[in-house]
Structures are given as C-alpha cells and as structure tokens.
Chains A and B, each alone.
Chain A
Amino acid sequence: MEIALEAEQLGKRYGRTWALRDCSLRLPTGRIAALVGPNGAGKSTLLHLAVGLLRPDAGAVRVFGESPYGNPAVLPEIGFVAQDTPLYRDFTAAELVHLGGRMNKRWDAALARNRLAQLGIPPNLPVGKLSGGQRAQVALALALAKRPRLLLLDEPVASLDPLARREFLQSLMGSVAESETTVLLSSHLLADLERICDYLIVLHAARVQLAGPVDDLVEAHRQLIGPRHGDGPISGVAGVVRASHTARQSTLLVRTDGQAVDPEWAVHDVTLEDLILAYLADGETTVSHTAWEVPA
C-alpha cells in the first residue's frame, strides 16, 4: 500500500502559537479523505505544509515519500485548490487554461476544456465576473488538468450555496472515480462529506483527534445509553470519547475494544456525523477560560 501523504510529529508555529502540533498521519493512495475541524483548527496549515507553501517547524511531511517544501519536483504531483479559490480575476477561463500549460510540464488542456465546456463556463469572460460556484469549478478544472496524483482542496465548497456545493462535489467525484487520484479535502460541512469520503481526519485545537478509514472508524465506535454512570470502567469499552448525563441516564460515545459490551447498556451504531461531532466537542478551552478570566 503506497502512502500518498505522510506526516510525522508535524508541527507549525506562528509566533508562539502552534497552529498544528504533533500531527502524525498516513494517507494511503486512492482514498478520498475528509479533513474536518472547526475554523482555526489547522486545516489550511496542514494543507499548506503538504503542498510546500509552508516549512514545518517540527517533524516532517512527505508527499509520495518526498518533502514538498522548497522542492518543485513534487509540485507536478499535487493539484491544489486554495481556500476561496484564488485565481487571477481579470484572466478569462480560456487564458487560465493556457497559463496552466505554460506553468506545468504535464498539462491536460483538453481535459480542462472539456470539463469547463460541460459545466457551461463561458471561456471568454474574466473569471472575476463568474459566480462563486463557477469560479470554484474553474479552479478545480485547473487543478485536475495537472493530472495530479494527490489533489488537495482547501474548503472548496465553503462559500457555495447548497446546489452549487452538490454539483461541485458530484463533478469532483466523477473525475477522480476513474483515476487513481488521492483526494484530501478540508471542510467544516459534515453532511457533504459523508456521501463522498472513505477516509477521515479530524483536526481540533491544532492536533489530530482521529484518523482512519471511515468504515473502520464507524465500526470501532458505539453509542451507549444506560443508567447514570460514574467514571468506572465498562467492559468492552476502550475509551469514552464523550459523555452526557441527565439525572438518571448517561449517553456515552465510546471506542470499543472488540469485546462484547456490558449488557447493562443499550448499544447503538454511530453515524459519521455523530463521530465527528463527538471528537470536535472535546477541545482545549481551558486556555481561553484563563484568558477571559472566567471560571472554566
């Protein structure tokens, strides 16, 4: 199994604040991975490190075994669509396709043109005058025309309306389904991801909270409902991710250890969304409580 993207104890610091810390993950090729986390969790930082825009302050990141920072040899392998899909707004879509050909050795201009024609993007209008959804499609077409082995998309649908979002993700799926392209796409919109991703990375408070194939992750977690519970161990449970209690009842989201769970508990399967929310709810808020001088 080849590894498309690998991070080892990766860290990036802005001034004194760590935007990303102790990040270790291995993304196998052929996966469509979702990078999930709230704003400021370090998603963009991780993607910028992966595409070589940033230099790591700690640890290492490798794309197909090579460090991307200051190494233009890796760039042809990576298609990158930055947040807010920045493009030269006074260029037309046709000019951008031409530009891609000038700036890349491997460039499939026909692929870009076909895509844009199919999507009904006008070729001779400055892209600044296109709608946000159309502009995102242009950016995606340019990234795909590089025929990358790893496609990194930073919040590509964040600014799109639900319809454009769905169209964008559908066309993305359509184009990577046949190729062996590995996709890593960051988002804070959970519903969209469930449909398309088979790999999940949850980032929160600058750290990786969870990473793995979606099926395995869902399989390894259960929701337990039972009588009010203290802190004692429960058989069949490797760890409690999140617990909420009412006066008489506790609801736990737990990681199972494969054994049968104590029959005292009613066991339910979890959805991907439950899982993500459970891991995101638990964060480092002590710092901000101190900063605001209020009790935690």
Chain B
Amino acid sequence: MIWLAWRQHRKQLLFTLIGFAALAALMIPIGLSMRHTFTDLGLPDCVREVARADVAPATAESCEAAFHRFTNRYGSLNLVAVLLLVLPMLVGLFWGAPLVAREVEHGTHRFAWTQGVGRTHWALVKFGLVVAVTVAAAVCYGLGMSWWVSPLTQAAREGRLGFIVFDLQGIAPIGYTLFAVALGIFAGTVWRRMLPAMTVTLVGFIGVRAAVAILARPHYQPARTLTFPIEGTGPMRESHGDWVLASGVRNADGKMVAADTQIMCRPGGRGPGGGACGAELGAGPGAYNWQLYQPAGRFWLFQGIETGIFVALAALLLYLAVRRIRRIA
C-alpha cells in the first residue's frame, strides 16, 4: 500500500518540494537581510527599552525614528506575508481534493478497492501518509514564517495576535493545512469529481477560516479592559503587542462618546476649540480612555486553541471521509 502511495504521488511530491525549495530560496535571503538591518538599526535594544514603563523620552524618540526607517524599507513585505497565507489552502486543493476524487473520476477506485487489502485499509494508509507529509510541511512553514515575519511585527509594534500575523506563524498553520487537506479529501468523497471538490475546498476553507478568525478568536479568553485618564504627563499608552479589540473615550457614567479613538491632554490643557480636554468630542468631566484587548502574553494559548479547533475539524472530516468511502462504488 505504501508503495502504491509513493508510486502514485512521487511526481506530485517532487513538484511540491521544488516549490518549497524555490520559496525558501526567495524568502531566506530576504529574511536574513531584514534581520541584519534590524540589528544594525539597534532595534532589538529598542524593543526591550520601549516595552519598559520608565523609558527615557530621548530613547523613545530615537527608537521611534529607527522603527520608522525599518518599516519604510521593509513594510511592503507585509504584502508578501499576506500572499503566503494561501499556502495551506493550496495544499488542500492539490493534495487533498484529488486524493479520492481523482480515483473515482478515472474509475481506478474499482481496481484499487477490490484488491486484497480492502478500501478502509487503503483509505487509512493514504490519509495517514498525506497527513504526515502535510504536518511536516506545515511545521517547516510555521517555524520558517515565525522566523521570517518577527522583525516585521516587532518593528510595527502590533504584536503577534493581530489578524494575518497570527495566522502566519507558530503552530496555527499546522491546523490550517491539516484542515485544508481534510476538507479536500472529504469534498472529494462527496462530489467525486476533481473540479467541484477543489471548488468546495476553496470556498469552504476561506469561509471557515474567516468565520473562526473574526467570530471566534476574539473570545477564546475573556478580553481584558483597560481604562486610563484623558489627562496625564506621560506619552500616550502604547499597546506593546496587545491585541486591541475595541477602544474609545467614555464619559464618567460609562457612555461611549467617541469610539475608536484615544485622547491625552496635559494636565489643565485645553482642547483645539479652547474648551476642556475632549469637550469637542462630547466628553464631560471624569471622562476616561477605554480599551478592550487580549494581552500579548496569550499568544501561545491562542495559537493552541486555534490549532486545536482546526485539528479537531480535520479529524472529524477525515472520519466522515472514511465513512463515505464505504458508500462509493
């Protein structure tokens, strides 16, 4: 059986490896040069310094400039990172969807499933091997992207919990890739033609990923709130990698007066209209800044939960696929 899988998919495996190697050949030099610049600009120290509460204003200012230079030079690479988000889906399309659909489309399942080993054995070996290859590729991808994208996220100081950066690195890509492959296999057992199976995989993958990221992920843990006065001496509070879900200025009674903004006046300072601080926004006495956020320290917890969800979905789909295979003639 393993010999069959190897003989059948060796070309596909070769092309996948070539694709991976080409991608690595492109990304590793960029990553190295990015890290080189990062160190040259002294940004590792900056990251440490800026995170401290008692950072000296001069340091903060010079670091700000350095971060800015780095982002100017490499910020456009964020687009490349977005492109790489589709890699797990491609694995699902080209490894998952054809696995059963291709056999049925060519009728070869009637040959393979009537040999002595039987089709359940066939399915378990095939699925097992594809899952193993997928996990290996996804681990490389997840670790590689963590390494590659970390200067970009650190320079942008948005943390690793935000959309896209969270999805690119760590262990979550393992969950996504497994899910994509399982979805492809399952779609193949239902639609039994490659093109419909691939279409369903494409639509299903994007739909489920978006739904989980937007609807579920912000609620993996109860979000924390942070309030701070609108008058103070220090600079505006930085989020330091926290994932800010919502923010605004609230009045003393808790009523939101201005969503998606934060203000900060010097003590006794006046707003642009000459009124009290925040008066032009409708803030009365006792108004305060409000933030709803997930702390940066929950990154690995969230990664674990997200991966768990997608691995569970993948396991369910594979189980259903094995069951469905017994109904295909």
Q: Which residues of A contact B (CB under 8 A)?
A: 48, 51-55, 70, 72, 75-76, 78, 80, 82-84, 86-89, 91, 95, 98-100, 102-107, 139, 142, 146
Contact = CB atoms under 8 A, between A and B. Distances in A.
A102 B3 contact: yes
A53 B106 contact: no
Contacts of B110: 48, 53, 80, 82, 86
B8 A72 contact: no
Please provide the 5 A-B residue pairs with the shortest distance between their CB atoms, ordered closest to farther: A72-B118, A86-B107, A82-B110, A104-B116, A103-B115
B7 A99 contact: yes
A91 B111 CA distance: 13
B204 to A, nearest CB: 25
A282 to B, nearest CB: 29
Nearest to A52: B114
B4 A102 contact: yes
B39 to A, nearest CB: 51
Contact of B3 (A83, A84, A99, A139): A99
A70 B325 CA distance: 11
Contact of B108 (A70, A80, A88): A88
Contact of A98 (B3, B108, B113): B3
Contact of B116 (A48, A70, A91, A146): A146
Interface in B64-111: 106-108, 110-111
A75 B114 contact: yes
Given A95-B7, A99-B7, A86 B108 contact: yes
B120 A88 contact: no
Contact of A86 (B111, B116, B120): B111
Given A86-B106, A146-B116, 13 more contacts: A51-B114, A53-B113, A53-B329, A54-B329, A72-B120, A86-B107, A86-B110, A88-B111, A91-B7, A95-B7, A103-B4, A139-B111, A142-B111
Nearest to B327: A55
B107 A84 contact: yes
A19 B327 CA distance: 16
Secondary structure dominating the interface of B = loop
B117 A72 contact: yes
Interface of B: 1, 3-4, 7-8, 106-108, 110-118, 120-121, 326-329
Given A72-B121, A88-B8, A103 B116 contact: yes
Given A72-B117, A100-B115, A105-B116, A48 B329 contact: yes
Nearest to A154: B110
11 contacts: A48-B329, A51-B114, A82-B107, A82-B110, A82-B114, A87-B111, A88-B8, A98-B3, A99-B3, A103-B112, A106-B116
A7 to B, nearest CB: 16
B323 to A, nearest CB: 11
B1 A102 contact: yes
Nearest to A89: B106
Contacts of A104: 115-117
Nearest to A88: B108
Contacts of A84: 107
B115 A75 contact: yes
Contacts of B118: 72, 75
Contacts of A107: 116
A75 B108 CA distance: 16
Contacts of A52: 114
Contacts of A86: 106-108, 110-111
Contacts of B117: 72, 75, 103-104
Nearest to B328: A53
Given A54-B329, A82-B107, A75 B7 contact: no
B107 A53 contact: no
A196 B106 CA distance: 30
Contacts of A88: 8, 108, 111
Contacts of A53: 110, 113-114, 328-329
